[in-house]
Structure 1
Amino acid sequence: MDNNVITTIDVEDFKDFSHMIDYVDKDVVAARNLEDISYNNITIRLNFFLIISCVEGSIQLDMNNKTYLLKKDDIIICLPTTILSQTKFSRSHKLRIMGFSTNFLQRVVKREEISNNILSHIHKNPLRHIEEKDKSPIKLYEDLIIKKINDPSIHYKKDVLHYLFSAIFCDMMAAIYKYSDTELDNEEEPETGIKRASYVFKCFIMEVSKDNGFHRSVSYYADRLCYSPKYVSFVVKQVSGRTALEWINDSAIEQIKYQLKHSDKSIKEIADDFNFSNLSFFGKYVKKHLGVSPTKYRDIPENIGVY
């Protein structure tokens, strides 16, 4: 196999393996106790947020060209755009995974609350050990989620599960937050005492959030922050592991999706609201990021997932 080939995978790609997992829809995937699985030596790029837990045995993998070894009760957190390769497993092993699309996380967590030092800390320290005192709360979440998945009579199952997945994700981020304050960059903002890279990234995310998808270029936000586009791009990538344009497009497409699904406006009116010069450019932008035209996306029924 050509080692230079990188395969991009999304949460929805796990639907092909629904017999091995507990739950998957377009935004969330969860699987417990995956046993003795083996992969060909392929390289993948994640288009979502992935948490891998080692339950038994060991797992060795390369993440962004750095090798990590997971042993029992270790987890590794992979941010979107992470590249994984050279995955190896011990002879007998079990692992657990949870994955969240960026759209899902943007709906449940305010960007400024997760994006500041936490993403930088995860990017630099993706591997951590689960202490004994932290196992009990995690198990309570897992037991409740599995109970809801297996309940055939529950109404609004997808909504209930998404709230539970949101809770466990926020709880994990809260735990990481305790350690993130010590993972600041060395260069300080002279007047405020706040570390420069984290400060610039936080300001960038706040500007993107306030803009609601109206502007979609790095240069616009660089001008707003009085930095060069090159510097903003470098800082955002350094702190979050993602490019500035990915953050901008994720925010814009989430706003566009909401308008297409929940607004009575015409496609042209929505395109005008988002500052597209013409309907053709709007259609190409939506198709590039959603895979279908604005009209087709508007007509797609809500995905009920697989469980």
Structure 2
Amino acid sequence: MKNKIATYSLAHHKSLFTDINNNKDYFYVQAKDHPYISEPYRAESYAIEFLRKGSIVMQTRLKKVVVHAPAIITLGPSVIRSFTKDGDEILIDIIFFKPQFFLHNQANVFFLSQYEFFDNSEMHVFNLEKKNKLKFEQIFSLLRQSLDNNSNHQPSILRGYLYILIYELDFIKQTILTETTQNSLFEKFKEILFKDFLHQRSVQYYADALNVTRKYLSEVIKNNSGKTASDWIEDIVVLEAKVLLQNKDLTINQISDILNFPNQSTFGRFFKKATEISPLEYRRKNI
């Protein structure tokens, strides 16, 4: 199903930052501005971003955060994301790369998927202490220099620096104490929700999956997030609907089927109640 969802191609990402276009499966940019895309979307490439100065508002799935420099942001292709402006001054380095580029000559085709920070909304942002900031400044500087030198070994050198980046980020993740104020039941609910929401919209289903009563689950989620379990289910369905509606190759009826509504009319009523506009109106505004 995922290959039916509209994504931002690597070429489209290039066009947002520069007029230069090529056929390479990777792209590096240092920018003093950011293409703030407030509507949710996915991308075909991975991205590792080094926010050197300023701040930016990022939403991944249903989690919205203000990211302050210095910080690293990691995003995998499957992640629904959007960005909005937080301040005027920003400096950010971004390396985009297609999975097939990175996995060239890599025996383990699941190498990238084993790192949760590319896909898990709780792990996308690494706030950097001084020593780590200096380290990533050096790595990104070397990475940029390698791309300025258009040698035959450029792809291999770039892959080498990407391995270093991933290993360094994994080391930081492993050394961070997992202190969280969020209830573990709430975290488990979100994990199951993001996996099963296309087929399961009943709070009772998630309560059963977590071996608790519906009432207790609802109380925990409300206490931890201020929203009900039903709100969480509705919000993730709406978010997925918005991404699908931006794919002009899918009819609204097909989208209704993908989202497992009994018919297009039911989907239309659901979407309009949640967003105050019809699916067709949303599509016209965003295509």
TM-score normalised per structure 2: 0.50
